[in-house]
Amino acid sequence: MTDRLLDIDNVEVEYPARGFRGTPFKALKGVTLDILPGETVGLVGESGSGKTTLGRAVLGLAPVTGGAIRYKGRDISHLSRAERRTLSSDIQVVFQDPYTSLNPALTIEAILTEPLTVRKVSRADASRRVRELLDQVHLPADAGDRLPREFSGGQRQRIAIARALALDPQLIVCDEPVSALDLSTQARVLALFKEIQERTGVAYLFVSHDLAVVRHLSHRVAVMYRGEIVEWGDGDQVTARPEHPYTQRLLLAAPVPDPVAQEQRRAERRRLLENQREQDAQAGAIA
């Protein structure tokens, strides 16, 4: 069996209560998942599902209060800041909002060399690397001197991707990277993600609320609901023929861009909800 790149083992994340008598909030309630080298694992859920929290926990931005996260066998759940810094060349991130994930006061060159400064790379090497990165994400070489505000949302996401690639990571956590983009731009940026994976063999933990986006890119897919994983398996199966009732509802709730097919889906959804309601009622009656 191939060695797993990332092993998420029954992870819990609990935030302490606010003030005196509040109850602590459990964002993740025992999540188990793994990622193989070069694989894309899609993580789907609605708001409050905990998908973003899981991504942040892997990055060390959320506190792990139970279970463990292992990277190449090494437990990374409770690293100190200094130890975390050594991981930065292995695990990187692309965030959702292209407008606040780049410091508007810095040039593109400064933004892209930021991760490199930690590694004490020489200026000449840094400049060369910046040009390489811009090339990898299909941006012009002169972009380095410009400011983020001169670029569109899609282009800024490319810059964010370039920044993530700067240190040649093995795993990139992508937190809804295309959700804030227009339709046509989405397609192009997703194609870029795919191309980079095929070329460099990097793995992705791809978080999204959109089943269609996740289906397009992921080898395996996990569906989250209220802090737990409700379905986890092969990408095609989970996104087209789900077995868990929540995933089924999720799938049928997304409207398809074909009026005839959508009318059918609407009817299917109504039937599904009816069935699920009956089943719940029966289960309630028996219990």
Q: Report 77-96 residues binding another protein (CB under 8 A).
A: 81, 84-89, 91-93, 95-96
Residue 260 interacting with another protein (CB under 8 A): yes
Reference 172, options 222, 149, 206, 142; nearest CA is 206
The count of chain residues that interact with another protein, using the rule CB under 8 A, is 89
**Cα–Cα distance measured from residue 47 to residue 161, given in angstroms and rounded to the nearest whole number:** 24
**Does position 37 bind another protein by CB under 8 A?**
yes
The nearest distance, CB 239 to another protein, in angstroms, is 7
Query: Which residues does 105 contact at the CB level (< 8 Å), separation at least 6?
Result: 147
What is the C-alpha end-to-end distance of the chain, expressed in Å?
A: 42
Written as six digits, the tokens of 143 are 């972009």
Which of 17, 141, 254, 267: binder of another protein (CB under 8 A)?
254
Residue 160 interacts with another protein (CB under 8 A)? yes
Residues 13-32 contacting another protein, CB under 8 A:
none
In the three-class reduction of DSSP (H, G, I as helix; E, B as strand; rest coil), residue 42 is classed as: strand
| 180 lies in the binding site for another protein (CB under 8 A) | yes
91 vs 139 by CB, closer to another protein: 91
Q: Which is nearer to another protein, 17 or 261 (CB)?
A: 261
Measured N-to-C along each axis, helices 153-165 and 108-118 cross at an angle, to the nearest 10 degrees, of 20
Could you say which of 114, 121, 228, 272 contacts another protein (CB under 8 A)? Answer: 114
